Structure 1
């Protein structure tokens, strides 16, 4: 599993999509696993319990997508069999026992905010500061950047 990590707006989604395409690998986005704006840790647990632990045990991995409008987990998705799995998002690199590598993307805060708000507009704007605090707390407890085999200034 390759984790593409970094703070919101750093360019993870674009890079992960390109890498997954190149590797012909399934791509899981942490945005689909977070349990809402306060669900970063729960999303990491979902990644472990629904995807990584089953795959490591040789079992099928089936995850559920968070429905942001309904505020609950929705339909199930099966992870296709493949040599590689790419997971992108904050928390993707938090489970080192399951990782083959971590790529960390970094960008200045003003650039990240501009990109994120251009991408998600008014949906994200009221949550930017709160999500940034979640990222701060999460990365203070999880030294993911230090685990990265590749750091990209984007």
Structure 2
């Protein structure tokens, strides 16, 4: 548990002054265990979600998603969600996926509950003793909280909510039954690989990485490297991956080994209707016509540097600052892939521990 969970609880207390000890306990329980205790049947989960949303009144207040710690947030329901095609079935899928992926432990719950004692919540110590005597079951909100704030939400993984409208755009492609290819381009450190992994965890698909298509040394002529994006083998990506996919065929390709500086043996990938191509230069004009959905991810320079430093370490950051970022920016400036994308997502505020908010 992040030590700042009490600070997160204070944030909720400021938003909801009528929080009772039970509501603080529910916050700790959800943060640790997610929504797993509420999910038994995905079809029933969707039915309950639709029923709840239909019962909301038009004056229901808009509330943005709220972090609850543990990589989770509360996604608040609104009547308008009923009119957004596919949104509630997707939210139900994400709710079920969150329940499957997020389990938690009794020890983790105890740590969170204990940390709340530092907040001097009126009545909390006595409530906690009674709650522990009951063996810490799942909790409802207090009557005071329900009457004052009318909570209607689902607990979802934070990253699902961050990328909700990206997933909503992919949803019909994943269910369409015909070949579809999604491309994710953008700045290094903006979350392209993380988004591709998230998509693959939710929808049956294949993922191809542009890093596997760096230009082999024999092809790195001055003329080629002078081209924006010339350092990737887009011809091989087109011939070995994208064109076979367009014909509904299996893919056999040769990944480039960056450390050895040569192509590795061929890899065979059985065809799947949905494919994701992720990595810088994915939206090069020579490749862009092959995609059904084009995504561009970006983030601030400061956040990019922070993430790369965390991921690569001080020494590993240097090549990015001196070589890879300048090459990317030249490609972005010359070929403007962001302007040709269907969706652009600024991830500057993503991937941070919500308990630090």
Aligned to 1:81, which of 257, 271, 276? 271
What are the equivalent positions in structure 2 for 1:1-154 lying under 5 Å apart?
A: 1-35=181-215, 40-41=229-230, 42-94=232-284, 95-121=287-313, 122-154=315-347
Between the aligned partners of 2:322 and 2:246, the Cα distance in structure 1 is 36
Q: Deviations over 1:65-117 (max 9, x none)?
A: 11121111112222321111001111112222100011111101121122123
CA drift of 1:10 comes to: 0.7
User: TM-score scaled to structure 1, two decimals?
Assistant: 0.87
Partner of 2:65: none
Quick one: structure 1 residues 25 and 145, their matched pair in 2 at CA, closer, same or farther if it must change by over 3 Å?
same
Rg bigger for which structure?
Answer: 2
* 1:54 Cα deviation after fit: 2.3
The answer as to whether partners of 1:32 and 1:66 remain within 8 angstroms in 2 is yes
Change (3 A) 1:73 1:104: same
Greater share of strand: 1
Asked if the contact 2:245–2:271 (Cα under 8 Å) also holds between the matched residues in 1, the reply is: no
Tell which deviates more after alignment, 90-99 or 140-149: 140-149
Which is richer in helix? 2
Equivalent pair of 1:65/1:74 in contact (CA under 8 Å): yes
Q: Which has the higher contact order (CA 8 A, sep 6+)?
A: 1
Would the aligned equivalents of 1:35 and 1:72 in 2 still touch at CA under 8 Å? no
Q: Which moved more, 1:28-37 or 1:46-55?
A: 28-37
Task: Flag structure 2 segments of 5+ consecutive residues without an equivalent.
Answer: 1-180, 348-357
Question: In the TM superposition, what is the alpha-carbon distance from 1:141 to its structure 2 partner?
Answer: 3.0
Unpaired segments of 5 or more residues in structure 1? none
- Alignment partner, residue 130 of structure 2: none
CA distance in 2, matches of 1:128, 1:137: 13
2:332 alignment partner, SS class: helix
Provide the rounded CA distance (Å) in 2 between the counterparts of 1:18 and 1:101: 16
Aligned residues: 154
